[in-house]
A = this chain, B = another copy of it.
């Protein structure tokens, strides 16, 4: 009742709304009033004119003003008391100004060739086949399938993925144990939650390894313990001594070192898991790509009750699809499925139906063949360019995956110097040291991690040439 009166002139702020086309005038008036309260132009306690006066001043019908007052009173912006008029309430608080936070990694515009590994060639995404599969999937879904899905995934897709993994990766893939998820990132978060629920508090990660592994498990409440590699995979001694009972590994093509786990190490790892009643998480991130012979089957096939297997289409189709899978041992199946349910109630149904259709029609196999041919050519171009431009360089990890390791001799400069000069020349390169605490090669050279799948053979050749030029003429480098 003690509200300030606002002079008639103040209501000019509502004039533009009052002049809006008849159809949208009511909404415009409500929005203008709401904004005026929110912005503080009409502060708390301000008394509003009677509906009759405001309607007259604005030249609109009284009903429109009454409706606006009622609406904003119901929402809490205005307060009215019978016979005493209407005020601006004191419920409103303004929002703090939004700040731009860019969470997505961006490739710098100054970089002309970026060898950072992690992306497939997105221009190979089979848009036409995908669009056809989409049409078929949308047409084939029953209405009820648009309802809440099975959180573990569409049965058709689980069956298709299980068949694919059995055939291509030699896993034991029961569709009942398969969970469709949003890529390996979600898979690790799900497994991390399930492990924590079982009392685990730490998990071993490969060092060097994917920095994401540790981060994702940390988010699930598990401490990541870096474990060193030797030439055959995760070193057995430090693993046994670490005290962890779960470890995440990349046996097909270790990231980033590129080694394939030896048969002996695979057997040792499984023995270790059994001896500690523990778990091995197998991140088969690029197991689809092996160039010179048949892919080595996944570790999971040897012991499906000790190995959690996960993979995705991020390297084979596109990360933007956010589509992956998880094969879980019986002991973890219930916890993982329930966690998937609380995390999102399941993957979007339409996208699952599309992928199931795409797989069923052979589109996925065709696409993998096409990519493998393209990537093999790029790998060959990279290996040829690097060995020609940097004599004495040993290239490894070439049998599979989307990146290689190039050990460049010491005379081309130490790692920091090498990468800084490369960057100045517009070429982004990573070294093994960027992915863990591993020391460089014994000769003092640099171990480059070179992703090639996303680059054309021409880009690869140009990138290596620019790299060679940036660090000085071959054989005449600045050494350490």
Which residues of A are interface residues toward B (Cβ below 8 A)? 26-27, 30-31, 34, 38, 67, 71-77, 79, 89-96, 98-105, 119, 122-123, 125, 127, 130-131, 134-135, 138-139, 143-152, 167, 170, 172, 174-177, 181-183, 185-186, 189, 215-216, 219-220, 260, 263, 266-267, 270-271, 274, 294, 296-297, 299, 301-306, 314, 318-323, 329-330, 333-334, 337-339, 341-351
Contact = CB atoms under 8 A, between A and B. Distances in A.
Question: Which 4 pairs across A and B sit closest by C-beta, in order of nearness?
Answer: A320-B349, A182-B344, A98-B176, A98-B174
Contact of A342 (B71, B170, B185, B260): B185
Nearest to A333: B101
Contacts of A302: 75-77, 91-93
Contacts of A185: 341-345
Nearest to A216: B342
A100 B178 CA distance: 11
Contact of A177 (B89, B98, B143, B270): B98
A297 B152 CA distance: 36
Contact of A143 (B71, B90, B123, B151): B123
A152 B339 CA distance: 21
B322 A347 contact: yes
Contact of A101 (B93, B181, B337): B337
Contacts of A344: 181-183, 185-186, 189, 322, 343-344
A265 B71 CA distance: 15
A146 B131 contact: no
B119 A320 contact: no
Nearest to A107: B144
A224 B466 CA distance: 60
11 contacts: A67-B294, A75-B263, A75-B302, A91-B267, A95-B304, A99-B330, A100-B176, A119-B148, A130-B138, A320-B348, A322-B346
Nearest to A221: B221
B342 A76 contact: no
Contacts of A127: 138-139
A75 B170 contact: yes
Given A76-B299, A91-B271, A185-B344, 4 more contacts: A30-B294, A34-B301, A321-B348, A322-B349
A93 B306 contact: yes
A71 B334 contact: no
Contacts of A175: 98
B322 A348 contact: yes
Nearest to A215: B342
A43 to B, nearest CB: 15
Contacts of A98: 174-177, 330
A131 B138 CA distance: 8
A101 B172 contact: no
Nearest to A67: B294
A304 to B, nearest CB: 4
Contact of A219 (B77, B186, B334, B342): B342
A134 B216 CA distance: 32
Contacts of A348: 182, 320-323, 348, 351
A226 to B, nearest CB: 19
A266 B93 CA distance: 13
Nearest to A92: B302
Contacts of A216: 342
Nearest to A270: B91
Nearest to A320: B349
Given A185-B344, A297-B71, A301-B34, A119 B147 contact: yes
A170 B119 contact: no
B263 A319 contact: no
A148 B74 contact: no
A319 B348 CA distance: 9
